[in-house]
Amino acid sequence: MIKTHKITDIYNKMVYTDSGEYFGDVEESVLTSNKVFGWRVRATKNSYLSKTLGGAKGVVVPHQFVKSIGDVVIIKREAMPSEYDDSAKEEPL
């Protein structure tokens, strides 16, 4: 039997990278054609995003970078915007 959950159950979950860094909190999902395209992650206090992005509110992390969703959301480290790389994989909000 397939176990399903509501997509809203993911909202406000903490997001961590696979290397253990706190990334931010899930704010909402981005849907296209009834599929999850990505997750809008809010830059919260003391998160990697707030330190890296400065004044931006968050980023959209494509669903392909999500490794696991449970009590927290785990994303691949490659999804993190680089402080030195202009070709970041996320889209600024």
Q: What is the pTM of this model?
A: 0.79
Residues facing residue 69 across a β-bridge: 73
pLDDT (tens digit per residue) in 43-83? 998 888 888 887 778 899 999 999 999 999 999 988 776 65
Q: Residue 1 falls within a domain, yes or no?
A: no
Q: Which domain CATH number covers 22?
A: 2.30.30.240
Q: Residue 43 falls within a domain, yes or no?
A: yes
Give pLDDT, residue 77.
84
Say if CB 8 and CB 26 are below 8 A apart.
no
In the predicted model, is pLDDT for residue 40 greater than 90?
yes
The count of domains in the chain is 1
Q: Cα–Cα distance between 8 and 2 in angstroms, integer?
A: 18
Q: How crowded is residue 55: how many other Cβ atoms within 10 Å of its Cβ?
A: 6
Q: Determine phi and psi for 35, rounding to 5 degrees.
A: -125, 150
Q: Residue 92 falls within a domain, yes or no?
A: no
Structural domain span for residue 50: 7-80
Q: Residue 89 falls within a domain, yes or no?
A: no
In the predicted model, is pLDDT for residue 90 greater than 60?
no
